[in-house]
Structure 1
């Protein structure tokens, strides 16, 4: 027994070394190298499959973070890494929950593959039917990324039938079925993601979306004020200062990040170029 353990860990180390070399070589060759089949790795790794699944998942997170930092327009190896990690351990819930958003987010924030993300979550549900939050993720993908409100409603409704599911799942199913896409619903869903995740990347992304939705509401209200001014004065205001002097605004309007909104020469409300929300909008 004492002899078998070192041999087993030696085999794991050798396999891990091969994984590292594959990822390094893939970076050098523009991600053309495909990782081996997860089923084959499972056979080779014997009882160390769960350990190796964690290794592959860690590599997926590192790969995603590096590509996102570099604003890469392709993440060809993200799916093979996610596929391997969940083939080795079909119960690796963290990979399904975060990996689906890595896949679904538009490039260069993510892989830009929402349909693949849906398939991935559905695979997670098949392997973990008792975990209701995967239905939450599925509903979110249908709602936000694919804008398929019927399927989004169905996903939330199916998840709501689980005994441990929170009441808001059923509320969302009814709300989406009746209203489709709405700013209130979008805000609620992004807040749920923000409050339920412990991953800093997902949390930051959700917070950015919450701020963008708030800014969208701000801009809509400001556009209404500008329209009323133009109807009355048959011209555009000189700037927000004139609107403040006339009492139409209480002060200089700020976006949710704390930067002042800008007014273009065409009378359109815009983000200040220095605002992080302007940068986020350009990336999407």
Structure 2
């Protein structure tokens, strides 16, 4: 009897041990990485937050001749974007000091950057820039046309290839169209942007200051080839009592992105434009 009881007891304890071992080998829930907890990211890492911001060469309108790079960087940091299209960026100019503003902002935000020169200005350069949380390649400046007799300021669109988490690639562009009252240059320039886009194989997001509101032909032309992240768009200028939307984010083809949100940020100090932010899901 003793041996039988001992056998039953040992069999019982062996079963308990085997059950415990089985439970201990079950996979624990995976922890989210830092990348998936960011405001603009979805679980699969394919939602991007895009920002368009005319930074007025980092000069707060309320403080003439004062340069506040940190205020621009803080505005961007608060929104935690993945991609940023900047306009009115100074590099080593007399009015802004010995700074590459694109580089300085990127350093403060720990982002990649690309500056595209539109013109020589004040002993340095002036143009647009791109900031990115993800690696950049195929960086390029495309010159946009200006009708000679208008003596309009030369304009560009800067484009890059962005490699997103998981290897998905998109094209991203930053632009700033002509500011003259006559629309002729803006119309020429949007036509050239459409020509550039028509030869693009990657999904393409463009953002910037188009110096035209939606009721004008320039934006109607934009809408024929791109989809804006807003249709009834909140105004972006002036920062005090804004009444006109001229800063936009747009994409093509329409089926490659889904707009999750679009907002104009009510930041009145850092620049003479309000920044625009959109969350966009990149479709497979």
Fold conserved between structures, TM > 0.5: no
TM range, normalised to the smaller chain?
under 0.3
Greater share of strand: 2
Larger radius of gyration: 2
Greater share of helix: 1
Q: TM-score scaled by structure 1?
A: 0.24
Structure number with the bigger relative contact order (C-alpha 8 A, sep ≥ 6) is 2
Q: TM-score scaled by structure 2?
A: 0.24
